[in-house]
Amino acid sequence: MPLILRTITLEDLPLYRALIAPKQAFHRLNGPYLGMPTEADQNKKIMEFGFELTKPNPSFNFQLVCDEENGRILGEVSYYWKDQRTNWLEVGIVLFNQSHWGRGIGSKALPMWIDKQLAERPALVRIGLTTWSGNAGMMALAEKIGLKQEACYRKARILDGKYFDSLGYGILREEWDALREKHQETPSASAIQG
């Protein structure tokens, strides 16, 4: 399935709100040890996005992952600074619908997102991804696209009375560039919008 990454729009907000509803299965894998979102949390998030989208140059730390053929929203990719002083950016991905898991969407979308971050930030030295031992899919995805496990904080997360490890993956810019050259999978710029 061909994918695009694009910025969220005001028109997306009603569907996006349904896709991130607290009942969605992805919440049980996406940092559930931090607490599950409530309807009020999600409504506030949508209001904040709506407000940001009314600005002349809205700014978000994520983009939607969409099916290029029909425009359907499949998930989102995101980033945050782990340490901006050392040019260390963390990335993540969520696929909203469980029926899309395990179909190779993440292994296409996340490299596109990493490419975008590296292209837009020439000083960026490393990309990281943090997950937990309860999310086998994310661990497999990180390794599949070439990130190395760099840290394992044992019994650092607790969910439903059970302990899990916190896992840190990462890759340096030069390692990513070498991987991309080896596989010649660099997506065209037209695949990423906004």
**Domains, the chain:** 3-191 (3.40.630.30)
Q: Nearest 5°: phi and psi at 77? A: -115, 150
Task: Give the predicted TM-score (pTM) of the model.
Answer: 0.91
Which residue from 152, 171, 151 is spatially nearest to 163, judged by alpha carbons? 152
Question: Residue 69: is it exposed, middle or buried by C-beta count within 10 angstroms (0-12/13-18/19+)?
Answer: exposed
Cβ atoms 116, 110 nearer than 8 A: no
pLDDT in tens, 134-189: 999 999 999 999 999 999 999 999 999 999 999 999 999 999 999 988 876 545 44
pLDDT in tens, 4-56: 999 999 999 999 999 999 999 999 999 999 999 999 999 999 999 999 999 99
Which residue's structure tokens are 């950016």? 89
